[in-house]
Amino acid sequence: MNKKIIKIINPNSSKKITKEIDTIAKNTANFNTKIITTRYVNGISSIENYYDEAICIPNILKEIKKESKNKEIKGYIIACFGDPGLLAARELTKYPVIGIAEAAMHITSLISTKFSILTTLPYCIPMIQKLINTYGFKNICCNIHSINLSVNKIKKHTKELIKKIEKKCQIIIKNDNCNSIILGCSAMSPLSNYLTKKLNIPIIEGISSAVKLIETLISLKLFIN
């Protein structure tokens, strides 16, 4: 049996983040799924506002378009917690396309009616609030918080950083009375397992969620022509 390929498009240029995304995805994927992860080689190193998103979208779309005759790729993941270009991407292919923010939110809503989100910079809070409103999770999202660090500062998972995020999560759990937290940035994704164990509630990230949801859609053969 041929493996089904899921192509993950990291819209930033960071090799480190791309590698981590790839690792998480491969660890999550079914044995008959093959993961291919690309990055935006000539793109920016992090995506932290609407401009950054807008600029990386054409590359995301190009990455999908160039596979239009590739019958082995059965689904696409946009690996940025703003889901840039999602609806446009879906117009390009009959195969499923999923963003990691929507993936994390849908998965979380299946286990929790009171989750909070932790993102990078304060500027991103209203950006994520907009996603929450659009996707319909307003009533079950308690709050959106920021660790007040840029993606580039979060990329290196120093002990100090991990401690800081862990503490922030503890405060969020106490104040929001939430029972799960979504990590709102792919650069934080590798910390989700560690934090889940330490904090004793699910700390969810979007890449693994997206991989499983794409596998689900492929398996259910749900294609919009």
Contacts to a second copy by CB under 8 A: 28, 30, 49-51, 53-55, 57-58, 61, 85, 87-88, 90-92, 96, 98, 102, 106-107, 109-114, 122, 125-126, 129-130, 133-140, 177, 179-180, 200-202, 204, 208-209, 212-213, 215-217, 219-220, 222-225
What span, in angstroms and rounded, lies between the C-alpha atoms of 64 and 76? 8
Q: How far is CA 127 from the centre of its chain?
A: 14
Q: Which residue's CB is nearer to a second copy, number 36 or number 217?
A: 217
Of residues 22 and 102, the one with the C-beta less far from a second copy: 102
Contact 37, 25 (CB under 8 A): yes
Report CA dihedral (19, 23, 25, 29) to the nearest 10 degrees.
150
| Cα dihedral 131→145→152→75 (10° resolution) | -30
Q: Are 181 and 214 in contact (CB under 8 A)?
A: no
* Shortest Å distance, C-beta 214 to a second copy: 9
Residue closer to a second copy, measured from CB, 72 or 91: 91
Least gap, CB of 17 to a second copy (angstroms): 20
Pick 154 or 203: Cβ nearer a second copy: 203
Nearer to a second copy, 159 or 221 (CB): 221
Least distance in Å: CB of 153 to a second copy? 19
